[in-house]
Amino acid sequence: MIIEPLVTGPDGGVPAPLLAELTALYASNRDFHALSGDFPDPDDVREEQVAAALADDLAHPDAEVLLARSEGRLVGVAVTLARHPDPADPDPWIGLLMVDAGTHRRGYGRRLAAAVEDRFRAAGRSAVRLAVLENNPRALAFWTSLGYEVIGHRRDRQLDRPCVVLRKPLPAPGAFREG
């Protein structure tokens, strides 16, 4: 699997062929969008909606969108935030990790999460956080299986939805971690 940062066009937009791929990936996750309410109609996710969502993500100066490809095909996307807007929060965040629904249970999500963790570790970060919607037990099970631990509950900043906040320490490469 190859991980690469999203590169926008000269106008700051996502190039049309890539936007079509991203829209197909987002649209494949109908059940998630039905839970999250991120799109008005989870059965009709449109390119302009995905472009707007990505533009919102990238408007934050510390955000990065990572694309995961396998055999040339887009299989996943991750949106990360090097610094949370709350200055009291020292950790970077995974804002979104989504894998094409047609490729679920093939390890792409685990490998993409590990790649994000490795990027933060290489940047000298000692932990990473994320939030899972409380109405999404499958996502909570996924993240806890990767070693993330529940540290709290709060409402998300965007749509005021109840979330579970998780955190995972990122020991330096080669460091021994008891547990």
Highest mean pLDDT among 3-12, 78-87, 114-123: 114-123
The per-residue pLDDT for 43 is 94
Q: Is residue 101 part of a domain?
A: yes
Return the CATH number at 66: 3.40.630.30
Question: Which long-range contacts (C-beta less than 8 Å, at least 24 apart) are formed by 30-36?
Answer: 30/101, 31/101, 32/98, 32/136, 32/139, 35/133, 35/135, 35/136, 36/133, 36/136, 36/159, 36/161
Q: Which of 18, 118, 106 is CA-nearest to residue 67?
A: 18
Q: Is residue 73 part of a domain?
A: yes
The per-residue pLDDT for 164 is 96
Residues 131-155 have a mean pLDDT of 95
Q: Is residue 42 part of a domain?
A: yes
pLDDT at 103 over 90: no
**Residue recorded with tokens 């020292």:** 90
Q: Which of 133, 135, 151, 143 is CA-nearest to residue 91?
A: 151
Residues 81-94 have a mean pLDDT of 89
Q: Is residue 105 part of a domain?
A: yes
pLDDT category at 122 given cuts 50, 70, 90 is: very high
Q: Is residue 86 part of a domain?
A: yes
Note down the domain range covering 149. Answer: 2-169
pLDDT category at 4 given cuts 50, 70, 90 is: very high
Q: Is residue 179 part of a domain?
A: no
Residues 89-114 have a mean pLDDT of 94
The residue ranking higher by pLDDT, 135 or 173, is: 135
pLDDT category at 9 given cuts 50, 70, 90 is: confident
Q: Is residue 142 part of a domain?
A: yes
The per-residue pLDDT for 81 is 95
Residue-wise pLDDT tens digits, 32-65: 999 888 898 999 999 999 999 999 999 888 999 9
Output the pTM of the full model.
0.91
Q: Is residue 106 part of a domain?
A: yes
Domain total of the chain: 1
Residue 27: count other Cβ atoms within 10 Å of its Cβ: 20
